Chain A
Amino acid sequence: MSEQRSGITPWIVTIALAIALPLLFNKGFSLSLFCQMGINIIFALSYNMLLGQTGMLSFGHAVYFGLAAYFCAHALNAMGQGAFSFPVTLLPLIGGVIGLLFGVVLGYITTKRSGTPFAMISLGIGELVAAGSQMFPDFFGGEAGISTNRVVGPKALGISYGPQIQVYYLIAAWALLSAIAMYAFTKTPLGRMANAVRDNAERAQFVGYDPQRVRYLVFIVASFFAGVAGALSAINFEIVTVENVGLAASGFVLFMAFMGGTGSFYGPVIGAILVTFLQVALSGYTKAWLLYLGLFFLLMVLFAPGGIASLIELHRPAWRARQLGKLLPGYVALLVPVLIGFAGAVGLIEMIYFVETSGGGEGEMRLLGVSVDARQPTAWMVCFALVVIGVLGFRQLRPHLLRRWDDVTLALRAAETRAPSAAVPGVGT
């Protein structure tokens, strides 16, 4: 009956990785990518306090991120004009407090309801703030947003935050601190009761807890960390725009947390890293990257609603029992039709897009390194055929993999009955 011990190893590995990353990939491009990842990790983890841990599906979490970012941008500007002085290193703390204060006010209204009404209200509040941004152009900066300069305030130990590498380590440090704090939160009485409220809000009432109060408090804490992320975003990009508070940004953090997996603590971290990478990498290659992201999201909702983390957890027992090798051929075989179908679908989407933007498919189009004439039906038929082949192949090969899975499951069960104490840890205290 002990606490589930996840061990300290993953944390040490993460810290080592965070320190070493910019040394391994030292191009400007990768550095700014890592910075965005760090910010998004905090943001996605704070989002998962709502969705994964307390069962609150929010469509307005960017409000707390964005407002904190705005306040911090204004604070930086005021410091630039010499209005006051404050170490930039600690600015995220201010951002957190801003997020927290808005969480106290707006969260009170939002958490009055749970379930689907909560989702709608969070959306409404998000739209309220986004619409309100038009009313106060001085604060929100209209279309252009608010630009700022992070190189202000007292310099300690020669850190000016001029070079991006310094900003990276600032973000990495705050991301680690925030992640540790949020992980610790899950191990507190409130954090555990959040899970209880998520599972069964009614029963929580009959063990002495007010579920509305639990949701409200968690909402405030989550808003704090969203604010921390927002402040780091203001420092990193040196610009904040209305888009930072809008529905698209709220949807984006939902994407990250969900794709990574809301059922475990580390899921959103994976999601943040992956989605940020896709965003930066894909948007350079194709204008339709949002469509790919959306389709990827839909596929996840349909077939892996637990996100990537749930897929990892699914394979963990097989990995431990050294059975994973049995599954590998099945997966590799399945990969072939998946790639074929994928290539066909990408071809179709890109060709539609090309026809739309080029005005009827004039000119030469390059698709995955191949020159394609979008005006000829050949290319369309080939792509369509690829999709069909992919789908049929997938159907053909899937049972094969499922049979392998059955074998592995049986093997795992057999191992379990042979050594029951190993399967049920912590027997009888």
Chain B
Amino acid sequence: MEFFLVQLLNGLAYGLLLFMLSSGLTLIFSMMGVLNFAHASFYMLGAYFAYQCSKWLGFWPALVVAPLLVAGIGALVERFGLRTVHKFGHVAELLLTFGLAYVIEEIVHLVWGRAAVDYQIPEALNFTAFHILTSSYPAYRVFMMAISIAMLIGLYLGLTRTRVGLVIQASLTHPEMVEALGHNVPRVFMLVFAAGAALAGLAGVIGGNAFVTEPGMAAAVGSIVFVVVVFGGMGSLLGAFIASLLIGMVQTFSVGIDYSIGDLAGLFGAQIPEQFASITLARMAPMLPYLLMVMMLVMRPKGLMGTRET
């Protein structure tokens, strides 16, 4: 019970973090039809910028400065990269962001080295928030959730209460119509791209010290975020939200469970070879999100809440 509650909270914190990434990805995809391969790289940059910033200025300025820096880079990428290759079609756009992800990873190697950097939770938040029976729960996790939820509310208000938000929202469901109304201004594109990058950067700031800040973090999270987006249905914010929480839970819970395939087979009285029987759920954990995605695609190719075919 205790284990379950702690894992539930951890899963929630991780799921919300995933949603900060997948929401930006979804918004960019819906608006511009671009699947941003470098999205998780923005997450990584957020973490590294925050690390550098907190060394110089402290954590709290970093919380603001790092996402803004990432947003600036995002705007530059949109202005000088995506806009240039837009005329060559979606494949070129995808390739551009793919190459960018590659280059960003190499630049991180170059500047910060190949090993993980020592990006730590700030002292002010390094205490126990509350106890669940005998387990103590760290305050930083609570802080992460608070930031994520605050962003969520901010995103919601931004989308529903502002003019730009309404344009963005309209283009989620009726992109052609918005274009026809003359709203397809490049400035909105740049804004959305920068905002998505900022969200990813913020996720990096609060995720980088909770987990680990290393050059491989973009690739590790990037594929999971893609799973979230495909699973939830491309272009659907609600789908991305549900899928983020689900994948967050699945990943958190599965690593702590030593239930094996052999045990499962034993329930049915089946005998299976030792090689397979010894595989525990914890060992399968890295595969689970992808298995979920494949299962979803076989049963419902559009994804959970998706409406678009391509």
Direct contact of A and B (CB under 8 A): yes
What residues of B have a CB within 8 angstroms of the CB of A55 in the complex? 91
Is A330 engaged at the interface, CB distance under 8 Å to the other chain? Answer: no
**Smallest beta-carbon distance B88→chain A, Å:** 5
Q: Let me know if A352 and B310 touch, CB within 8 A.
A: no
What are 17 A-B pairs with beta-carbon distances under 8 A?
A57-B94, A109-B297, A120-B35, A121-B230, A125-B290, A127-B223, A135-B287, A138-B275, A290-B106, A294-B99, A294-B103, A294-B106, A297-B95, A297-B102, A298-B99, A302-B81, A356-B110
> Which 6 pairs across A and B sit closest by C-beta, in order of nearness?
A128-B290, A291-B106, A131-B286, A294-B103, A294-B102, A115-B310
Residue from A59, A120, A127, A297 within 8 A of B99 (CB atoms): A297
What residues of B have a CB within 8 angstroms of the CB of A356 in the complex? 110-113
Is A363 engaged at the interface, CB distance under 8 Å to the other chain? Answer: no
What residues of A have a CB within 8 angstroms of the CB of B309 in the complex? 113
Q: Which residue of A lies closest to B285 (CB)?
A: A131
Is A312 engaged at the interface, CB distance under 8 Å to the other chain? Answer: no
**Smallest beta-carbon distance B229→chain A, Å:** 7
What residues of B have a CB within 8 angstroms of the CB of A353 in the complex? 110
Q: Is the interface of A mostly helix, strand, loop or mixed?
A: helix
Is A332 engaged at the interface, CB distance under 8 Å to the other chain? Answer: no
Is A136 engaged at the interface, CB distance under 8 Å to the other chain? Answer: yes
Q: How far is the CA of A112 from the CA of B299 in the complex (A)?
A: 11
Q: How far is the CA of A186 from the CA of B293 in the complex (A)?
A: 33
Is B234 engaged at the interface, CB distance under 8 Å to the other chain? Answer: yes
Q: Which residue of A lies closest to B298 (CB)?
A: A109
Q: Let me know if B223 and A124 touch, CB within 8 A.
A: yes
Q: How far is the CA of A121 from the CA of B96 in the complex (A)?
A: 19
Q: Which residue of A lies closest to B95 (CB)?
A: A301
Q: Let me know if A298 and B230 touch, CB within 8 A.
A: no
Residue of B219, B283, B291, B310 with highest tally of chain A CB at under 10 A: B310
Give 1 or 0 for each of A116-142: 1 = CB within 8 Å of chain B CB. Answer: 110111011101100110111010000
Q: List which A220-258 residues lie within 8 A (CB) of chain B.
A: 247, 251, 254, 258
Q: Let me know if A123 and B297 touch, CB within 8 A.
A: no
What residues of B have a CB within 8 angstroms of the CB of A254 in the complex? 95, 98
Q: Let me know if A302 and B96 touch, CB within 8 A.
A: yes
Residue from B85, B107, B109, B227 within 8 A of A305 (CB atoms): B85
With known contacts A115-B310, A291-B106, A295-B103, A124–B219 Cβ distance under 8 A: no
**Smallest beta-carbon distance A204→chain B, Å:** 15
Q: Is the interface of B mostly helix, strand, loop or mixed?
A: helix
Is B284 engaged at the interface, CB distance under 8 Å to the other chain? Answer: yes
Is A288 engaged at the interface, CB distance under 8 Å to the other chain? Answer: yes
Is B59 engaged at the interface, CB distance under 8 Å to the other chain? Answer: no
Give 1 or 0 for each of B258-287: 1 = CB within 8 Å of chain A CB. Answer: 000000000000000001000100011011
Task: Known A-B contacts: A113-B309, A115-B310. Give 5 more (CB < 8 A).
Answer: A117-B234, A121-B293, A135-B284, A290-B102, A291-B109
Give 1 or 0 for each of B284-308: 1 = CB within 8 Å of chain A CB. Answer: 1011001101100110010000000
Q: Let me know if A298 and B287 touch, CB within 8 A.
A: no
What residues of A have a CB within 8 angstroms of the CB of B287 in the complex? 128, 131-132, 135
Q: How far is the CA of A302 from the CA of B100 in the complex (A)?
A: 11
Interface size bracket, B side: 35 or more
Q: Let me know if A116 and B90 touch, CB within 8 A.
A: yes
Q: How far is the CA of A124 from the CA of B287 in the complex (A)?
A: 10
Q: Let me know if A123 and B226 touch, CB within 8 A.
A: yes
With known contacts A128-B290, A301-B95, A121–B297 Cβ distance under 8 A: yes
Q: How far is the CA of A156 from the CA of B284 in the complex (A)?
A: 45
What residues of B have a CB within 8 angstroms of the CB of A352 in the complex? 110-111
Q: Let me know if B230 and A349 touch, CB within 8 A.
A: no
Is B84 engaged at the interface, CB distance under 8 Å to the other chain? Answer: yes
Q: Let me know if A120 and B226 touch, CB within 8 A.
A: yes
What residues of A have a CB within 8 angstroms of the CB of B291 in the complex? 128
**Smallest beta-carbon distance B62→chain A, Å:** 21
Q: How far is the CA of A135 from the CA of B284 in the complex (A)?
A: 7
Q: Let me know if B310 and A247 touch, CB within 8 A.
A: no
What residues of B have a CB within 8 angstroms of the CB of A302 in the complex? 81, 84-85, 96
**Smallest beta-carbon distance B157→chain A, Å:** 29
Q: List which B52-96 residues lie within 8 A (CB) of chain A.
A: 81, 84-85, 88, 90-92, 94-96
Q: Which residue of B lies closest to A134 (CB)?
A: B286
Is A114 engaged at the interface, CB distance under 8 Å to the other chain? Answer: yes
Give 1 or 0 for each of B207-249: 1 = CB within 8 Å of chain A CB. Answer: 0000000000001000100110110001000000000000000
What residues of B have a CB within 8 angstroms of the CB of A251 in the complex? 98, 102
Residue from B35, B297, B298 within 8 A of A116 (CB atoms): B35
What residues of A have a CB within 8 angstroms of the CB of B298 in the complex? 109, 112
With known contacts A298-B100, A301-B92, A123–B223 Cβ distance under 8 A: yes
Q: Let me know if B106 and A298 touch, CB within 8 A.
A: no
Residue from B29, B103, B275 within 8 A of A291 (CB atoms): B103
What residues of B have a CB within 8 angstroms of the CB of A297 in the complex? 95, 99, 102
Q: How far is the CA of A298 from the CA of B96 in the complex (A)?
A: 6
Q: Let me know if B106 and A114 touch, CB within 8 A.
A: no
**Smallest beta-carbon distance A391→chain B, Å:** 13
**Smallest beta-carbon distance B286→chain A, Å:** 4
**Smallest beta-carbon distance A255→chain B, Å:** 8
What residues of A have a CB within 8 angstroms of the CB of B284 in the complex? 135
Q: Which residue of A lies closest to B286 (CB)?
A: A131
Q: How far is the CA of A305 from the CA of B88 in the complex (A)?
A: 8
Q: Which residue of A lies closest to B231 (CB)?
A: A124
Residue of B35, B90, B95, B100 with highest tally of chain A CB at under 10 A: B95
What residues of B have a CB within 8 angstroms of the CB of A288 in the complex? 106, 110
